Structure 1
Amino acid sequence: MKARLRRPAALLAGSLIPLSLLIGPPASAAPAAPLADAFTRAAATYEVPRDLLVTLAYAETHLDGHDGAPSASGGYGVMHLVSNPTTHTLEQAAKLTGQPLPALKADDAANITGGAAVLRAHADALGLDATARKDAGKWYTAVAEYGNASSPEVARLYADTVYDLLATGVRAATPDGETVTVTAQAVQPDRGDYAKARDLDRTFAAAAVDYPSAHWAPANSGNYAVSSRPSGDVIDRIVIHVTQGSYAGTISWFQNPAAQVSAHYVVRSSDGDVTQMVREKNRAFHAGSFNRRSVGIEHEGYVDNASWFTDAMYRSSAALTRNIADRYGIPKDRAHIVGHHQVPGTDHTDPGPNWNWTKYMQFVTGNSGGGGTNPHTAQSVCGSGYTVIDSAALGTAGTAYLLYNNANGNNCVATIKKSSLGTATATTAYLEVQGKTRITDSGSFTYYAGPVRAAAAGKCVKWGGKAGSSTYNSPFEHCG
């Protein structure tokens, strides 16, 4: 026997009242968070610390998959899965997850799953057991390997960037308007063999660089042409580029013989750190018809994402450009300081519409409202998360600053010059944690000495610096 259908109570005068009116609106539904959910699922599936996975992705792409378009080095998606002649993490992710290549390139969730799988594969190769996998600090070597760096020092730079971000936290807005966060947390990275690698954030090689504030990481010799500029070719242009990739990734790519490209300098987004990769006398392969006559400066980031173009980057790059222009007599105007897109015959669009030329040229010419002030601050030199806790004037020549990072327990010292700006003069910054060896950065610098960083939680420190003829040396203080 058929069951009798009960007449709906809402059937009145021959009309049905919409169900939504009967049950009312949903009770404060949580906003959709597809990217955050994808990170959570992938982290759980492959037993990767979720916050570490997000931070690695942020360091690579600022959580922007660029609609499946590749980076300069052939990396795809939020996790920058790479497919180029020497690196095949995209194909590795396909094998590990069973996901097709098109999905791994363009679908954020699939790409995040692929990145987590590759990172876990590195952890397995290192022998991390279930207990070790729960400690984000134990993943340091796996993170370094994930970056596919060209050398141990670049691998360390890559991993240190990820762990520095983990210490300061991440709050990123995705292209779709979702906000993904990582809470700042103190993690002690276990660097393993990478502890022996040269620290590109600290080591200067003054004899090897043309710009005294730059680090030195040479490009592969096949990616530039040995020359004798300016006696051979006049240098009369400075070309501004955007890397379409991360800082460490770009340095590594220029060291890869498969790249066939390079630039003289690379500038980091977060703090304006500068690495020189080709001597100015040589011709970097960066701007086609302008290679013979120009110096090329690459800036970390992507042309379609303005979040990479920080004030620290603009100021640092402008100081570099000003220094180059002064040494070669290049006019500081837009006819001589040009974007890659302005080079005759190029098909490139960088630095793109998000690059603020007005602000940049104001910093280059010193007309930004600050007169002849130093474009760098102690915070921009030491990096995000550091706060000034003490300072000492070095006569009229500069100021030494002591900073502290609550998230990771590190101190940092930077000496910021006030006079002879743009001219290399003797400048020093040092930091000594009680019971440890003093760390010193000393040389002929144009704008600052430092950063000198050291873990000092619960310890007393001595700190100081020198600029001009003035020196400051503190006692052991700021204990704990």
Structure 2
Amino acid sequence: MRRSSAIIVAVATASVAVGAVNATAESPPADRQGQYAAAAEEFGVPASVLLGVSYLESRWNVNAGTPSTSAGYGPMHLTDVAAANTGGTHHDDGTEDPRGDTARPTLRPEPGELDLSSPTLRTVELAADLTGVDEATLRTDVRQNIRGGAALLAHHQRELGVDSDRPADWYGAVARYSGATDTATAANFADEVFATIAEGAERVTDDGQRMRLAARAVDPNTGQLARLGLRQTDEDEAECPRGLGCEWLPAPYEEFEGGYGNHDKANRPESQKIEYIVIHDTEATWDTTLDLVQDPTYVSWQYSLRSADGHIAQHVKAKDVAWQAGNWYVNSKSIGLEHEGFAAQGTWYTEAMYRSSAKLVRYLAAKHRIPLDRAHIIGHDNVPGTVPSTVRGMHWDPGPYWDWAHYFDLLGKPFRGVGTPRAGLVTINPDFDTNRPAFTGCEVEGEPCPSRGSTSVILRTEPRSDAPLLTDIGLHPDGSPGTMHISDHSSRVETGQQYAIADRRGDWTAIWYLGQKGWFHNPRHAPTAEWSIGLTATPKRGRESVPVYGRAYPEASAYPEHITPQEIVPLQYTLPAGQEYAVGLVTGSEYYWAVSYDAGNHTVVRGKTKYVQVQFGHRVAYVKLADVDLRPSVSR
């Protein structure tokens, strides 16, 4: 396995385009639209192509000057891995056992060093060479960043030997800009850019600039792709929609001294229904991610997605169980997607990766009949701890900067409300760009994070902005309130999650959350949630409270003699009488016994106990169906 941390940079030598060194042109355009137009004219790039590429990288956002999860800066995503915070990986942050099976010894993976060798992580150097602008300025100055992207596109076009101002003749340069090393991924990136040009786009960026790409019919010269010299991707083994640029790089199922790894063989969905797709962020570079998942002593996940171009690698078949979510019940019922990223906090995700991920999830959801909602498409941060002792160490990726609303728009399932507050539920749905919680600790403990859009909404104990945060006794056993640290979701809800309405006062709405009433600002003129309808769970009459569980395991009598029953251990929370919680699904009880390398001994244990998945706090949880009443959420 490669564990190199050396930075290997391949910077092509090329003639500087005419006018490219004019980094300080007189009276540069002040508006963003004009800056794109000026850069396009200076470097001879069709404006629609420059705008289309930038949209697919960043949606024209500047992201507060912070790097993306693949070290890209600015609206043109110029990469500089040396400047980005390389951090560690989320698999070595905290105490979570990714396998999450208490029937086996605790798994503590060692991630090793990051591999930062890919030339695609240093495109800012070539842009500096082409423009005469220093790398720091290209990272931080938006106008120069746009010029740098235009210079790169013009450079790729010259390398192809194409002299044309027709957008259709820039297909090869666009494909090259993606940084993809295989034909299918490069084509998918270029196809998305030209689809954006054909459809047009208009939006206000995260720094308040109104941008527009007029729709224009273009028949791109796709034949240029063959001239890029990229490798062909063998998609035969990969379980992906065709044309997505997906390859099969298997995780090893191997025995070694002291155990085996790094996943378990199964026969899903025949043996167990797949209920969830879990969204992760790797907090590691692409090459490091691939090294880790191909290590039999490490952990596993089904798919990895590359940030810069949306390329996908599959490692574990959907029928098998990957060790990815820290909860064995969820692992055995889910498919895990790891999205490339190594700057552990405060980073952003490219549009190219969002789109590839959404295509893959739509395919998987249709194939396995998984509903496209936030009860089934969940983040790692929504997976519950297994027992009280594991709650505090559970991971929190993809974090508060993953744009769930945009992701579900791409999935074709936008979050829409129904009716009035009498519907009884809310679906959290703030405006991503303007919703900017004051998080801390992205780079330095206690220091404010950059001001940037988020899908998180903060809860208070009272309907006022200076009221204390709620308490999560799993994360703060001493009973202290939650904090605004980036990883502390004690008092935080996420876009798409549904909660039962507990109260309303003016511009404030209260929901039931971890056994408490949590208030969030929800003004009519700028709502942060949609009124919604569904089922809720509440304790049966006469019960003061009911236990809450992190796993939906069977009763002891359901286990065969050769399998030790898994103890049904409630978490440290309870669901009190008088409170209601949104229902995600009702399910039977299961435990997948797979404690040895010999898959012939693996057994699915099913019990008579039924469970209800509820949105209990930031994470989902389970209650026994026999303990609760289910009823429509409509206010009574």
TM-score, with length taken from structure 2:
0.39
How far is the alpha carbon of 1:107 from its aligned partner? 2.2
Greater RCO (Cα-Cα under 8 Å, separation 6 or more): 2
Rounded Cα–Cα distance in structure 2 between residues aligned with 1:121 and 1:308: 21
C-alpha displacement at 1:65, in angstroms?
A: 2.0
Supply the distance in 2 between the matched residues of 1:255 and 1:220 (Cα, whole angstroms): 14
Give the structure 2 partner of residue 151 of structure 1: 182
1:277 aligns with 2:314: yes
How many pairs align?
313
Residue 33 of structure 2 aligns to a residue whose secondary structure is helix
Partner of 1:185: 216
Which residue number corresponds to residue 128 of structure 1? 162
Report the Cα distance in structure 2 between the residues aligned to 1:78 and 1:107, rounded to whole angstroms: 10
* AA at the equivalent of 2:404: W
How far off is 1:110 after superposition? 1.5
Which amino acid in 2 is paired with 1:230?
A: A
The answer (yes or no) to whether the contact 1:93–1:115 under 8 Å persists in 2 is: yes
Counterpart residue type for residue 189 of structure 1: P
Deviation at 1:164, TM superposition (A): 1.3
Residue 346, structure 1, aligned to residue 380, structure 2:
no
Counterpart mapping for 1:39-438 below 5 A: 39-84=36-81, 85-86=117-118, 87=120, 88-129=122-163, 132=164, 134-194=165-225, 208=237, 210=239, 217-218=246-247, 220-221=249-250, 227-230=263-266, 238-241=276-279, 253=286, 257=290, 264=302, 277-278=314-315, 279-281=317-319, 293=332, 294-297=334-337, 317=361, 320-321=364-365, 324=368, 334=375, 338-342=378-382, 344-350=393-399, 352=401, 354-355=403-404
SS at match of 1:218: strand
Distance apart, 1:41 and its partner CA = 1.6
Q: CA deviation at 1:62?
A: 0.6
How far did 1:231 drift?
6.6
**2-side partners of 1:123 and 1:213: how far apart?**
28
Instruction: State the Cα distance separating 1:274 from its structure 2 match.
Output: 12
Q: CA deviation at 1:218?
A: 1.6
CA distance change for structure 1 residues 309 and 118 in 2, over 3 Å: closer, same or farther? closer
Q: TM-score, normalised by structure 1?
A: 0.50
Q: Distance in 2 between matches of 1:306 and 1:139?
A: 21
CA-CA distance at 1:36 after TM superposition: 0.9
CA distance in structure 1 between the partners assigned to 2:195 and 2:61 by the alignment: 20
**Inter-CA distance 195–281: structure 2 relative to 1 (3 Å threshold):** same
d(CA) in 2 for partners of 1:96, 1:72: 25
Deviation at 1:48, TM superposition (A): 0.9
Q: Deviations over 1:247-272 (max 9, x none)?
A: xxx9x95898579699635899xxxx
**Match for 2:211: what amino acid?**
V
Identity %: 28
Aligned letter for 1:91?
Answer: E
Q: 1:285 to 1:157 in 2, by over 3 A?
A: farther
Residue 159 of structure 1 aligns to which amino acid in structure 2?
Answer: A
Cα displacement (A) at 1:98: 2.6
Structure with a larger share of its residues in helix: 1
Q: How far, CA to CA, are the matches of 1:143 and 1:319 in structure 2?
A: 26
CA distance in 1, matches of 2:175, 2:339: 22
Report the Cα offset of residue 240 of structure 1.
3.4
SS of the residue 2:336 aligns to: strand
| Alpha-carbon contact 2:246-2:311 (below 8 Å) kept | no
SS in 2 for 1:150: coil
Deviation at 1:238, TM superposition (A): 3.3
Q: 1:179 to 1:308 in 2, by over 3 A?
A: farther
Query: Cα gap change, 1:91/1:37 in structure 2, threshold over 3 Å: closer, same or farther?
Result: same
SS of residue in 2 equivalent to 1:189: coil
Deviation, structure 1 residue 192:
2.7
Report the CA distance between 1:315 and its aligned residue: 10
**Is residue 341–residue 351 contact of structure 1 (8 Å, CA) maintained in 2?**
no
Name the structure 1 match of 2:424: none
Q: Which amino acid aligns with 1:218?
A: E
Please state how far the C-alpha of 1:181 moved relative to its aligned partner.
1.3
By how many angstroms is 1:186 displaced?
2.1
Query: Contact conserved, 1:65 with 1:106, CA < 8 A, in 2?
Result: no
2:404 aligns to what SS in structure 1?
Answer: coil
| 3-state SS of paired residue (2:247) | coil
Amino acid at match of 1:119: L
Q: Distance in 2 between matches of 1:157 and 1:190?
A: 14
Contact 1:229 1:235 in 2 (8 A): no
Structure 1: unaligned runs, 5 residues or longer = 1-31, 198-202, 370-480
1:56–1:242 distance in 2 versus 1, CA, 3 Å: farther
